[in-house]
Amino acid sequence: MSHQTESGWDFEPVYGPDKLAGFDPAEKLGTPGQYPFTRGVYPTMYTERPWTMRQYAGFGTAAESNQRYHQLIDAGTMGLSVAFDLPTQMGYDSDAEIAHGEVGKVGVAIDSIDDMRILFDRIPLDQVSTSMTINAPGSVLLLLYQLVAEEQGVSGDKLTGTIQNDVLKEYIARGTYIYPPKESLRLISDIFAYCRTELPRWNTISISGYHMAEAGATPAQEIAFTLADGIEYVRAAIAAGLDVDDFAPRLSFFFVSRTTLLEEVAKFRAARRIWAQVMRDEFGAKNPKSLMLRFHTQTAGVQLTAQQPEVNLVRVAIQGLAAVLGGTQSLHTNSYDEAIALPTEKAARLALRTQQVLAYETDITATVDPFAGSYVVESLTDEVEAAARELMDQVEEYGGAVAAIEKGFQKQEIERSAYRIAQQIDSAERVVVGLNKYKVAEEEPYEPLRVDPAIEAQQVARLAKLRAERDQAAVDKALADLQAAARGTDNCLYPMKEALKARATVGEVSNALRDVWGVYVPADTF
């Protein structure tokens, strides 16, 4: 029986030194915390403290999500990760016609500073690291977070966390884009510059391969297209006049972790090695922190099954183990019921407990990079690296990530991979326990968490009250100042902050920029 990696290479029955011809440990491995960072970005990794356990959560209203955050903090989570509903992700208010039926469904509805204030009620923002999965309107949500922190008396230099802010992958695999690529890159460069001055400890972008992987990308495609996007962001920031070492230390990445443990470990190690070399040799970065590929990991939602959902607990444990063995800086473990509905409180707690067992009941934190020197892992690391570099070269032949996106290259490559995987599952060549093999005649009943549809009406009423109470003249002036900055070269975040402080809504700010920059229409929809 033959076995293949997710990227399509045959596994050898036995690996030995012969598979590592020309392997130079000093060049390719080095030591932990030093170039090329194959063995991890920090010298001690988890031997002194574990990774950040950051659970992704958000649903319904800000008050409901706030309650879940307090439950997670009480259960021992080290950092919050905010899921926003689809209208918020697309820069629409809850009362927009296009938002009907989606308010609070896949995340929390945030329309204004009023909602953000409730979302983080009684959560000390100088003590909690917060990640926000927001892209096209990333600047808006970041500024709302900063404004709430200032109300708590917390200055920007005390805030730690991440905004995803990776719009290029939206064009490739996810779809929650707003503005065209050129204008999106302009806004991202403004965020880099703003945070350098105002929020120096904030991670300004989480360059994401996760969504590409969930759409069907192989491990090699995932890191190739993610790193290619990262290169595009670096080029855009340099073109905007920033020095690479002024912003590169605050770049971070976001990857998936699948059940194919060996290849996932190799993928993470290869990604670090490629990024370090690119930043040193192509961009001339001098600060060692500019060379470090720091990343968050989420276990693979696409591998969860609605059939026999308890089996997902096993899948998630293996995926979490792969992420830790691969050297992640933070981790979200999915809840076992996410293939059915939003996680229940019990399921979310069990997901966190999975990480806590890995950190405190195993010995994998006792040493750095436990798989270093493994014949199979070192061989797979080389193979993933070579395949990823080849794909990155193809992206460069198009003229870079944006040009390749506009030609549909990454999307087509991922779709081919997704089709191959679907065929393998349908034919049972790829076994999915409980789905195409080892099925049960009758599933146990399960009561999912449901979002109250009345939430939409509540948010609409809150928006009406906000617009009636605020100083509309102040809002109009701030939005006009924002549009003037967008038409020119001034940093957009300063007038944007004033607009939000005057209680402009997420949708109003996004619409102000839509009016100036327009919206992106993919070529294949013409």
Whether residue 21 has pLDDT greater than 70? no
Handedness of CA 61, 117, 170, 333 (dihedral sign): negative
Q: What is the pLDDT of residue 443?
A: 78
pLDDT at 22: 62
For residues 238-252, give the mean pLDDT.
94
Its pTM stands at 0.90
Q: How confident is the model at residue 432 (pLDDT cuts 50, 70, 90)?
A: very high
Structure tokens, 349: 């707690």
Judged against a pLDDT cut of 60, whether residue 26 lies above it is answered with: no
Q: What is the pLDDT of residues 302-323, one digit of tens each?
A: 999 999 999 999 999 999 999 9
CA dihedral 249, 135, 271, 420 (to 10 degrees): 180
CA–CA gap between residue 500 and residue 239 (Å, rounded)? 28
Domains and CATH numbers, the chain: 17-29+45-426 (3.20.20.240)
Q: Check whether 525 has a pLDDT greater than 50.
A: no
Nearest alpha-carbon partner for 124 in 154, 79, 81, 83? 154
State which H helix or E strand residue 129 sits in.
strand 129-133
Pick the closest to residue 456 from 121, 87, 81 (CA basis): 87
Mean pLDDT of 98-119: 96
The reported pLDDT for the residue numbered 452 is 80
SS (H, E, C) 318-372: HHHHHHHHCCCCEEECCCCCCCCCECCHHHHHHHHHHHHHHHHCCCCCCCCCCCC
Cβ proximity of 170 and 410 under 8 Å: no
- Quote the CA–CA distance of 285 and 405 in Å, as a whole number: 26
Tens of pLDDT, residues 142-160: 999 999 999 999 999 999 9
196-210 average pLDDT score: 95
